[in-house]
Structure 1
């Protein structure tokens, strides 16, 4: 983490807290009243959970699986190793409403036996929560940051989750064991950190079973992309870029997904559902 990030990190955190209080909170109240009308792109996907398969990875790995060698791109996540202990406290007031909305969006597409991959699990709060809703399935939490993998594993142990596995992995080059394994892939406020977006999208597609879906929550409307770009580049460790709904659609269709739906689920935050064909 460089000196600019250390200096401006608290500024970014304060802005996120204010956004949650003065933007998200009113929008959530409007949603509850049926008055929030999000902008959408693409066909709304059918909620059709896949037939459950028995958990495998969570039974095969009772301890985190770490990379044998440090990859060249590890510099992009070193900032997260440094701030792992403080990360949740800084971003959760902003991220918690987004996580809640993402889970509500995902639930109709999952069963209690679904296999779900969180390829950028961070400190693991979302992964551990969703794992509790998959009593017959499993949640595999991965992250390139070793410190984040360790924190996720510790959080899962504290919560008594036995249906989770933990991997240190590059989102653009995930383990072969992930190929065609998952019913769903979820990425919450992480895609803007990926150095190679097309490779990450292709990796998501490769990890899914036929009929599986990828769920992505990230800053996305153009107006948010424009206002957030400069401070994100300076203050956010590993920031690469935000994408509009049109850019996410083009990216994911190019990666082999059959349909892409996008909506501005909260002001400034786009949720994407990318579907695969049931026949592969």
Structure 2
């Protein structure tokens, strides 16, 4: 079976924030920024950080120790400009260099549906998140018929990606020591908050 391909963002990196996709992401950014609970000094990691917009906005709310990881080097170049005092690394989200139990908060905004190894991502989050820490996932919220057609089309064309409901996402993490704290949505955007037990 051939390996699935993924959407590439390297050619869009410099103009991503001002592009149609960047503007479409604004609803997700707002949902995350308004709902992630932070305190000064917290260790915060964004998985699939892209251009660093979320990290930058969260750092405006609180004095955090922020880090970001992504596999798109051109996007990371933008994130490093936006978040010059943060550690921004090129690595996959299922195999990071961080020590066990390092983070208070992990965020994945408009990234989860792209991750090729979702079980690996769940396992890695369980490893590096502190007990009682929170994982926030913001991803598209689509009606069932559209979700089924989209997921089928992605499978047929061997494109990496799958859109889940909030309950399905929570179920994906239940075997890794997470429970759903809550979920929120706004039109086509949803946010799931999972707590590490």
Output the TM-score relative to the length of structure 2: 0.85
CA separation in 1, counterparts of 2:192 and 2:11? Answer: 30
The answer on 1:171 being equivalent to 2:109 is: no
Q: Contact 1:221–1:264 at 8 Å: present in 2 too?
A: no
CA separation in 1, counterparts of 2:52 and 2:38? Answer: 19
* Match among 5, 15, 25 for residue 95 of structure 1: 25
* Match among 108, 111, 114 for residue 42 of structure 2: 114
For the residue of structure 2 that corresponds to 1:121, the secondary structure is: coil
How far the C-alpha of 1:269 sits from its partner, in A, is 2.4
The answer on 1:273 being equivalent to 2:193 is: yes
Given the superposition, is the C-alpha separation of residues 86 and 230 from structure 1 closer, same or farther in structure 2, using an over 3 Å criterion? farther
Please list the CA deviations of residues 9-46 of structure 1 after superposition, one character each: whole Å capped at 9, or x if unmatched. xxxxxxxxxxxxxxxxxxxxxxxxxxxxxxxxxxxxxx
In the other structure, the counterpart of 2:126 is 205
CA separation in 1, counterparts of 2:160 and 2:57? Answer: 26
Larger Rg: 1
For the residue of structure 2 that corresponds to 1:151, the secondary structure is: helix
Given the superposition, is the C-alpha separation of residues 228 and 261 from structure 1 closer, same or farther in structure 2, using an over 3 Å criterion? farther
Going by fraction, where is helix more abundant, 1 or 2? 1
CA separation in 1, counterparts of 2:29 and 2:163? Answer: 18
For the residue of structure 2 that corresponds to 1:186, the secondary structure is: strand
In the other structure, the counterpart of 1:244 is 165
Please list the CA deviations of residues 58-95 of structure 1 after superposition, one character each: whole Å capped at 9, or x if unmatched. xxxxxxxxxxxxxxx9x646x22222123222322211
Question: Pairwise CA RMSD of aligned residues?
Answer: 2.3
Going by fraction, where is strand more abundant, 1 or 2? 2
In the other structure, the counterpart of 1:139 is 66
The 5 A counterparts of 1:27-176 are 76=6, 79-88=8-17, 89-106=19-36, 109-135=37-63, 137-157=64-84, 162=85, 164-175=86-97
In the other structure, the counterpart of 2:183 is 263
**Alignment size in residue pairs:** 189
In the other structure, the counterpart of 2:115 is 194
Q: Contact 2:141–2:187 at 8 Å: present in 1 too?
A: no
User: Which deviates more from structure 2 when the two are superposed, residues 221-230 or residues 166-175?
Assistant: 221-230
Structure 1: 5+ residue stretches without partners: 1-72
Please list the CA deviations of residues 160-188 of structure 1 after superposition, one character each: whole Å capped at 9, or x if unmatched. xx3x111111001111x242110000011
In the other structure, the counterpart of 1:49 is none
CA separation in 1, counterparts of 2:26 and 2:43? Answer: 23
How far the C-alpha of 1:127 sits from its partner, in A, is 1.1
CA separation in 2, counterparts of 1:213 and 1:263? Answer: 12
